[in-house]
Amino acid sequence: MADERQSQHIVGLDLLRVAAACLVMMYHFAFWHWTRGNTVLPGSLGAPPWSGIHLDFGWVGVEIFFVISGYVITLSASGSGMSAPRFLRSRFMRLVPCAWICATLTFMVYVWLPAQYSAKIYLDYVATMAFWPLRSIDGVYWTLGIEVSFYILVFALLRLRRLATLESVVTRIGLASGLFWACALLTVSLTEAAVGWPATLHMLVTRAEANRELQLLLVQHGCFFALGTVMSKAATGGFTRARGVALASLGAACVLEIIGQNSIIERASQLSLSALPAVAIWLTAVAVLALAATCNKTLLRWLGPTAKAVRFAGLTTYPLYLVHNPLGLGLTVLLAPYLGFSAVVIGLAGAIIGAALIARYGEPALSAALRHVWPPAAGGHDLHVRGQLPKAVTVLSGEAQ
C-alpha cells in the first residue's frame, strides 16, 4: 500500500511548488520591499547595493499556484467516495492549522517591528484567524480568500451532486475571466492620458482590475483554476478537441491576466516593467505541469529515496509562502547592524528553516489536536494525515498556496 501511494504521488508538482514559492519570496525581497512606499528594508539597510530591477516578475509564482490548485483539487474532489462533508473537512485540515500558526507568528513579529506595527494589527490578526477575506495581517494572505472561493464552488457542486459539471462550470468562469481582462486592458489602453469622462472610466477600470470583491468572485483569477481543472480532466479522462479549444482559450485568458497584473505592479511601484518574463515563466510552468503526471514514474525512479525529501519540500511551500515576509523582515532588521546586506540572505534562510519546522512539527501537532475535535466520519478517510490521500485519490501534498 505504501509503495502504491508513493507511485501515485506526482512529485513533479512538488518541484513546481518549490520553484513558485522561491519566485514569490525573491520577488518580495529583491524587488517589492525596495519599491516606493516600503520602509522596512530601506530603513534598516538604506538603498540596495544593486542597480536596476531584479526579479520584478516573481509574483507570477502565485499564478502558477492557482493553476496547480485547480489541477489538484479537481483530482481530489473526483476521488472515489468523496462527499461534500469529507471535502470540507479535508480543506479545513489542510488550510487552517498552518494558517493559524503562521498568522500568530506573523502577529508576534509585526508587533515587534515598529515599521509594521499599528493599532489595527489586532483586528487584522483576528480577521486572518477567522479567514475573513477582506483584511489580513500580511499581504500574502490575499490568495487564501481566492482559494477558498474556488473550494466553495467545488463544495457546492459536491453538495448538489453535480460535480460532473465542474469542468463545464469553471471553463465558463475562466472564459468570463478572459473577457474581463480583454475588455479591461483594451479600455485602459484607449483611455491612457485621457481627460474628462474617459479619464474617469480609466480610473474605474484600473480599480476593478484589483477589486477585492471581484477577486473573491474569481473574476480576475478564475482562468487559472479553470485551466488547471481542464488539464486535470484531460490527464484522467483523455484529450479531446473540445478540451484542446478550452485549454487554448483559457491559456490566452491567463496570459491576459498576467499582462494586467504586470500593469497593476507598474502603477503601484511607479516603474516601467515588462510582462514578457512573467509570461515566459508561467508558460514554462504550465508545460512542466502537463508533463508531471506523464513522466511521474520515471521521475520517481530517478529521484529514488530523494523523492521523500522533495515531497516534504512541497509541503513546506505553504508555510513558507505565509511566513517568508515576517520572518525574513524580522531577521533582516535584527541582523542588519551586524551583517549589512548579508542579513537579507540570512533572513530568507531563517524563513525557510522556520517554514520547515512548521511543516514538520507545528502543523501536524495542531492538525492532530483538531482531528480530535472534528474526527473523520465513520468509515471515511482522513484526507490529510501527513500529506497522504486515500488510495483512490492521487496523492498530492501541499495543495493550497
For all residues of the chain together, what is the average pLDDT?
A: 90
Which pLDDT band holds residue 37 (cuts at 50, 70, 90)?
Answer: confident
Residue 53 has pLDDT above 90, yes or no: no
At residue 57, what are phi and psi to the nearest 5 degrees? -95, 0
Write the pLDDT tens digit of every residue in 251-287. 999 999 999 999 999 999 999 999 999 999 999 999 9
Per-domain boundaries in the chain: 2-373
Query: Which residues have C-beta within 8 Å of that of residue 265, sequence separation ≥ 6?
Result: 56, 59, 273
3-state DSSP assignment of residue 385: strand
Residue 105 has pLDDT above 70, yes or no: yes
Query: What confidence score (pLDDT) does residue 124 get?
Result: 96
Residue 5 has pLDDT above 60, yes or no: no
Task: Give me the percent of the chain exceeding a pLDDT of 70.
Answer: 91
Verdict on whether the full-model pTM lies above 0.75: yes
Query: What confidence score (pLDDT) does residue 51 get?
Result: 62
Query: What confidence score (pLDDT) does residue 379 get?
Result: 42
DSSP 92: H
Alpha-carbon span 227 to 171, nearest angstrom: 8
**Gyration radius of the chain over CA positions:** 21
Residue 305 grid coordinates = 529515496
At residue 388, what are phi and psi to the nearest 5 degrees? -105, 135
Alpha-carbon span 270 to 264, nearest angstrom: 10
Among 356, 344, 347, CA closest to 31: 344
Query: What confidence score (pLDDT) does residue 80 get?
Result: 73
User: Sign of dihedral through CA atoms 221, 226, 231, 233?
Assistant: positive
Q: Lowest-confidence range among 9-18, 48-57, 144-153, 323-332?
A: 48-57
Alpha-carbon span 316 to 301, nearest angstrom: 22
Asked if residues 219 and 180 have their Cβ atoms less than 8 Å apart, the reply is yes
Which pLDDT band holds residue 393 (cuts at 50, 70, 90)?
Answer: very low
Question: What does the pLDDT average to over 94-107?
Answer: 98
Place of cell 501541499: 398
Question: What does the pLDDT average to over 201-220?
Answer: 97
Q: Which amino acid is at 34?
A: W
Asked if residues 324 and 39 have their Cβ atoms less than 8 Å apart, the reply is no
Query: What confidence score (pLDDT) does residue 349 get?
Result: 98
Angstrom CA distances, 345 to 19, 331, 370, stand at 17, 10, 35
Write the pLDDT tens digit of every residue in 339-375. 999 999 999 999 999 999 999 999 999 999 999 999 8
Alpha-carbon span 107 to 101, nearest angstrom: 10
Asked if residues 84 and 159 have their Cβ atoms less than 8 Å apart, the reply is yes
User: Sign of dihedral through CA atoms 231, 237, 241, 243?
Assistant: negative
H runs (alpha helix) in 270-305:
276-294, 296-303
CA atoms within 13 A on the CB side of 308: 6
Asked if residues 265 and 59 have their Cβ atoms less than 8 Å apart, the reply is yes
Residue 398 has pLDDT above 90, yes or no: no
Among 156, 157, 135, CA closest to 144: 135
- DSSP string covering 98-160, please? HHHHHHHHHHHHHHH-TTT--TTHHHHHHHHHTT-TT--SSGGGHHHHHHHHHHHHHHHHHHT
Write the pLDDT tens digit of every residue in 281-334. 999 999 999 998 888 888 899 999 899 999 999 999 999 999 999 999 999 999
Alpha-carbon span 27 to 14, nearest angstrom: 20
Asked if residues 20 and 317 have their Cβ atoms less than 8 Å apart, the reply is yes
Residue 400 has pLDDT above 60, yes or no: no
Question: What does the pLDDT average to over 28-48?
Answer: 91
